[in-house]
Amino acid sequence: MDLGNWRLDTVDGGEFMLDGGACFGVVPKTVWSKTFPSDGDNRIRLASNCVLARDGKR
């Protein structure tokens, strides 16, 4: 995507797993597990997506 002199691109950084309880804190597992199902170790899958911004000079 171009934004003025800037070119913005997304970079896929892959996926990783983190403990769902640590991510959502005091929110009960019955609430967050509907959207983010966990594995046997209570870990949820998260994505690492980045934005690369270039202006042609850097």
Residues of the domain holding 13: 2-54
Top-confidence residue, 3 or 9: 9
Q: How far apart are CA 22 and CA 42, in angstroms?
A: 10
Count how many domains the chain has: 1
Phi, psi of 24 (to 5 degrees): -105, -5
Task: Grade residue 3 by pLDDT with cuts at 50, 70 and 90.
Answer: confident
- Please tell me the predicted confidence (pLDDT) of residue 40: 93
- pTM to 2 decimal places: 0.70
pLDDT value, residue 58: 65
Place of tokens 């934004």: 3
> Would you call 20 helix, strand, or coil by DSSP?
helix
Q: Alpha-carbon distance 38 to 14, whole Å?
A: 18
- C-alpha to C-alpha distance for 50 and 34, rounded to whole angstroms: 26
pLDDT digits (tens, 9 = 90+) for 18-48: 999 999 999 999 999 999 999 999 999 999 9
